[in-house]
Structure 1
Amino acid sequence: MAKKKSSSGKKGSLGYRLKRGLIIAVAILVLAPVMLVVAGRWINPFTTMFIVERYVQAWDQGDWDFRAEREWVDWDRISRNLPLAVMSSEDQRFPDHNGFDWKQVEKAYTDWQDGDRLRGASTISQQLAKNLFLWSGQSWVRKGLEVPLTYLIELTWSKQRILEVYLNVVEFGDGIYGAQAAALTFYREPASSLSMSQAARMAAVLPNPKKFIVDRPSNYVMSRQRWIVRQMNQLGYGYLDKLH
């Protein structure tokens, strides 16, 4: 007597529906970030995962009145001093690399082998990918996800667009995101009016904007500000022309 063929592969069966659902779920997980990144070339982000995370932290602490300070400004409404200061401070090879500064990675690793504290070597592009789509803290899982997102951003966006979005979403103070909100909060003037010294101080706090405060600078921040100004003078405003 012939055995009945299994119906697990037939349309409508439970096995088929589970397989189809799994394929659809994986496709969504893969395609959604891709679509968001590509759209970000033209569409300004409504929020970021870091901002969402900050709201969750505030609510978890019972601070239901927390509101992130943020106001988008286009590239031509940001003083040229700020992108120059941020590149001078965070990523001096930004116009030339493909999202990853392997020289800095190698240097960080060599310094660690020599006994120094292990430090990050993230580029502006990597930091933007993390801010927009991932979460804070140290994690190999997050780092692994950061790599393809960074490559995709570099592939689809111009360098100027990357820096424009970064300057509008990065945290310059506790709950203060972007150049305009920071300039108005700390200097009572718009981002378009930032001087070299003011921009350098804003860039100086980026490693830890909750610990380092723009309008109450520590000796470390003041020292770093002076170093950034020197780097800005060395690079010159012509360095911004390499972003096009």
Structure 2
Amino acid sequence: MLRRIVFVLLAIAAAPLALLLLYGFVPPVSTLMLGRWLTLQPVERQWVALSDISPELPRAVIASEDSRFCRHGGVDWSALRQVIDEMGEDGPARGASTIPMQTVKNLVLWPGRSYVRKGLEVPLSLFADMIWSKRRMMENYLNIAEWGDGLFGAEAAARRYFGKSAGSLTRREAALLAAALPNPLQRNPAKPARFHARAANAIVIRMPNEYTGCL
């Protein structure tokens, strides 16, 4: 019985690593997408290669979500240390999630706030960054990101909100999509509220200065 328990625990621990290895070669499926399928809810997603996505979109999400994406190894330790140093009694006032951390969370972990989940994100992000190229990381991220209720990936989002393919997105449209990521169920890139529009404007200003040479 003890051996069986140990085997089950090892299998559970190995499953995320095996999935990340697999998703280096096949289009990934997020846990949110799986949850919707299991509860018979619709999922709108069309996988596209990074080469078929406007370069403005990865530049926009780097400007918005992870400015050191091309320079860190999956975890931005300097940003993480700063968040810990500034943390009060009520917990951190802001996050330090990188694009790799968000990607592994969406692929092999569960939604919601949890210190356990956050602790798992760090080693899994380091592992994913080690086995995937930065280009593959961004490709996976942009194809599983949630942009609305049942809406996943850049191609589906571009067609829903702007009536065009992801490859035809303008800089402004890319910034509006990136600015929606922190709260995709409440922010509509096609009809941005004032706060959403201001966030997109700030992203547009930062985009030309972001380094995307790793892509």
Instruction: Give TM class, smaller chain.
Output: over 0.9
Task: Say if 2:123 is the partner of 1:148.
Answer: yes
- The equivalent of 2:104 in structure 1 is 129
Q: Deviations over 1:147-198 (max 9, x none)?
A: 2211110110011100100000000122210000000000110000000000
| Structure 1 portions without partners, runs of 5+ | 1-17
Q: Work out which of the residue numbers 50, 60, 64 in structure 1 matches 2:32.
A: 50
State the SS of the aligned residue for 2:213. helix
Q: Distance in 1 between matches of 2:109 and 2:92?
A: 24
- The equivalent of 1:28 in structure 2 is 11
Amino acid at match of 2:214: K
Superposed displacement of residue 52, structure 1: 2.6
- Cα gap change, 1:110 to 1:24, in 2 (>3 Å): closer
Contact 1:50 1:134 survives alignment (8 Å): no
Task: Say if 2:213 is the partner of 1:241.
Answer: yes
- The equivalent of 1:100 in structure 2 is 75
Q: Distance in 1 between matches of 2:147 and 2:49?
A: 17
Superposed displacement of residue 19, structure 1: 2.7
Q: How many residues align?
A: 215
State the SS of the aligned residue for 2:181. coil
Q: Work out which of the residue numbers 186, 191, 194 in structure 1 matches 2:166.
A: 191
Q: Distance in 2 between matches of 1:217 and 1:146?
A: 31
| Structure 2 portions without partners, runs of 5+ | none
Range moving further from structure 2, 179-188 or 206-215: 206-215
State the SS of the aligned residue for 1:215. coil
Superposed displacement of residue 105, structure 1: 2.1
Tell me which of the two structures has the higher relative contact order, counting C-alpha pairs closer than 8 angstroms and 6 or more residues apart.
Answer: 2
TM-score calculated relative to the size of structure 2: 0.92
Contact 1:173 1:214 survives alignment (8 Å): no
Q: Work out which of the residue numbers 172, 179, 186 in structure 2 matches 1:204.
A: 179
Question: Cα RMSD between the aligned structures?
Answer: 2.0
Q: Distance in 2 between matches of 1:109 and 1:22?
A: 36
TM-score calculated relative to the size of structure 1: 0.82
Superposed displacement of residue 116, structure 1: 10
Amino acid at match of 1:51: M
Q: Distance in 1 between matches of 2:203 and 2:119?
A: 31
Superposed displacement of residue 41, structure 1: 1.3
Contact 2:146 2:184 survives alignment (8 Å): yes
Amino acid at match of 1:50: L
Q: Work out which of the residue numbers 75, 91, 94 in structure 2 matches 1:119.
A: 94
Q: Distance in 2 between matches of 1:119 and 1:27?
A: 33
State the SS of the aligned residue for 1:87. helix
Superposed displacement of residue 108, structure 1: 3.0
Superposed displacement of residue 94, structure 1: 0.4
Contact 1:109 1:118 survives alignment (8 Å): no
Superposed displacement of residue 224, structure 1: 0.6
Contact 2:84 2:92 survives alignment (8 Å): no
State the SS of the aligned residue for 1:104. helix
Amino acid at match of 2:11: I
- Cα gap change, 1:211 to 1:35, in 2 (>3 Å): same
Aligned sequence identity (%): 38
Contact 2:36 2:42 survives alignment (8 Å): no
Determine which structure has more spread, i.e. the larger CA radius of gyration.
1
State the SS of the aligned residue for 1:172. strand
